[in-house]
Amino acid sequence: MQPLSSTVKNMRRSGIREIMDLAHGVPDVVHLEVGEPGFPTPKHIVEAAHQAAEEGFTKYTPNAGLLSLREQIVSKLAAVNGLSVSVDNVVVTTGAVGGLATALMAVLEPGEEVLVPDPGWPNFEMMVICAAGVSKLYPLSQDNDFVPEIEALEELVTPRSKVVIVNSPSNPTGAVFPAKQVEALVDFASRHDLYLIADEVYEQIVFGVEHVSPGRFDPDGRVIGVHSFSKTYAMTGWRVGYAIASQSVAQFIAKLQEPFFSCASSVSQKAAEAALMGPQDCVIEMRTEYESHRDLAASLLRDAGLSFVTPDGAFYTMVDVSPFNLDSYTFARELLQEAGVAVAPGRTFGPSGEGYVRVSLAPTAEEITEGLERFAAFLRALE
């Protein structure tokens, strides 16, 4: 047999997946490694999808998505993100994953470089590999609240640089970039003629701060904003998101839907439409709940004497475990085996994640309390 694809072979396995697999064999585990809302999809969205299926929305849609959904997205972007776009700038995708992957493919030539956040969501690097690009990791540090520093980015720019990926609110750090920094990032992209891909999937999960879309500072059309219904409306399994880009880039992203996805699921697109058109109380209720989980976790972590950055958004916190002299994988494995608590090892998010573990705030308050109490007891036993 001929060898299988070296591209796929070279893709790193997610450390979160490794911990999840190990957790299967351990009884009574508290899962603080998960990255998806614990809430069910709001009922009115499920009902709208059911009705749409009954009405025959069970066929292919245009590559760029249903016009009716794209129109709703245009209204949402004006009302929520302060962006003025037309339907020609909107491509509905198979989750943000589909939008990010096809956005990268739409702009990259083989061997071109992409600036990727470190620590950052591991899928960014995987997608760059699949798009035949080369990742250049830009470090984020707790000293700067995990907000990118332009000087660090400048040092990584080469003639082959093509794209910078930014993610605010961030997975795994929970950082939400201030407007000034967002503007500085677009300015940086502009000075070096880079595309800026903004992963905005946690845009509505912010606690007392504003999420600022990079597209607000973009007169040249170099920003590609990628959004999702997954986190905002607890719709991870419906697989629907969207990319916002200049018309020429949007056309390429839409063209790429054909070979990989054809289109996002038609019934999910109708569900997404109902999500945008319906009452938004569910978004506020979930945000409030995540904020209370954030405060609960912060108080438990503080009581345990741990250092962490209080997240301003998303539903994760990075906990500094460097004083315990175990690498983050060993720490996560021992925490699982000794205390039955699953967390994500920081190293899986990049070299700058070493010395941390990521704790998810998406589970219930009871799970967070139980998990972090066991975490504290595990640390006492280590001392």
Question: Binding to ligand PLP (CB under 6 A): which residues in 297-356?
Answer: none
Q: What are the residues whose beta carbons fall under 8 Å from the beta carbon of 176, sequence distance 6 or more? A: 168, 169, 170, 206, 209, 210, 211, 312, 313
User: Which one among 81, 89, 135, 167 touches ligand PLP, defined by CB under 6 A?
Assistant: 167
User: Which one among 37, 42, 65, 95 touches ligand PLP, defined by CB under 6 A?
Assistant: 95
8-state DSSP, 77: I
- Map residues 100-129 to x or -, x wherever contact with ligand PLP holds by CB under 6 A: ---------------------x--------
Residue 121 or 195 with smaller CB distance to ligand PLP: 121
Binding piece for ligand PLP, criterion CB under 6 A, among 91-99, 243-251, 325-333, 374-382: 91-99
**Rule CB under 6 A: is residue 171 a binding residue for ligand PLP?**
yes
Binding piece for ligand PLP, criterion CB under 6 A, among 23-31, 92-100, 157-165, 242-250: 92-100
Residue 133 or 340 with smaller CB distance to ligand PLP: 133
User: Which one among 135, 230, 317, 352 touches ligand PLP, defined by CB under 6 A?
Assistant: 230
Helix (H, G, I), strand (E, B) or coil at 76: helix
Phi, psi (rounded to 5 degrees) for 49: -65, -40
Smallest distance from the beta carbon of 8 to ligand PLP, in angstroms?
19
Residue 227 or 374 with smaller CB distance to ligand PLP: 227
Binding piece for ligand PLP, criterion CB under 6 A, among 89-97, 250-258, 290-298, 358-366: 89-97
Smallest distance from the beta carbon of 97 to ligand PLP, in angstroms?
4
**Rule CB under 6 A: is residue 236 a binding residue for ligand PLP?**
yes
Q: Which residues pair with 206 in a beta bridge?
A: 313
Q: Is the Cβ–Cβ distance between 212 and 179 less than 8 Å?
A: yes
Residue 89 or 268 with smaller CB distance to ligand PLP: 268
Structure tokens given for 84: 């003025």
Residue 121 or 207 with smaller CB distance to ligand PLP: 121
Smallest Cα–Cα separation from 205: which of 140, 275, 282? 282
Smallest distance from the beta carbon of 158 to ligand PLP, in angstroms?
25
Smallest Cα–Cα separation from 105: which of 11, 224, 200, 187? 224
Strands 241-244 and 223-228: antiparallel
Burial, 190: exposed, middle or buried (Cβ in 10 Å; 0-12, 13-18, 19+)?
middle
Smallest Cα–Cα separation from 372: which of 382, 381, 361, 383? 361
Smallest distance from the beta carbon of 219 to ligand PLP, in angstroms?
26
User: Which one among 228, 232, 257, 328 touches ligand PLP, defined by CB under 6 A?
Assistant: 228
- Map residues 176-215 to x or -, x wherever contact with ligand PLP holds by CB under 6 A: -----------------------x-x--------------
Smallest distance from the beta carbon of 354 to ligand PLP, in angstroms?
20
Helix (H, G, I), strand (E, B) or coil at 81: helix
**Rule CB under 6 A: is residue 35 a binding residue for ligand PLP?**
yes
Smallest Cα–Cα separation from 318: which of 350, 288, 340, 289? 350
Query: Which DSSP string do the residues of 259-315 spell out, in sequence order?
Result: HHTSSS-HHHHHHHHHHHHS-SHHHHHHHHHHHHHHHHHHHHHHHTT-EEPPPSBTT
**Minimal CB distance residue for ligand PLP:** 95
Residue 97 or 182 with smaller CB distance to ligand PLP: 97
Q: How far apart are alpha carbons 375 and 340 in whole angstroms? A: 9
Catalog residues that contact ligand PLP under the rule CB under 6 A: 35, 95-97, 121, 167, 171, 199, 201, 228, 230, 236, 241
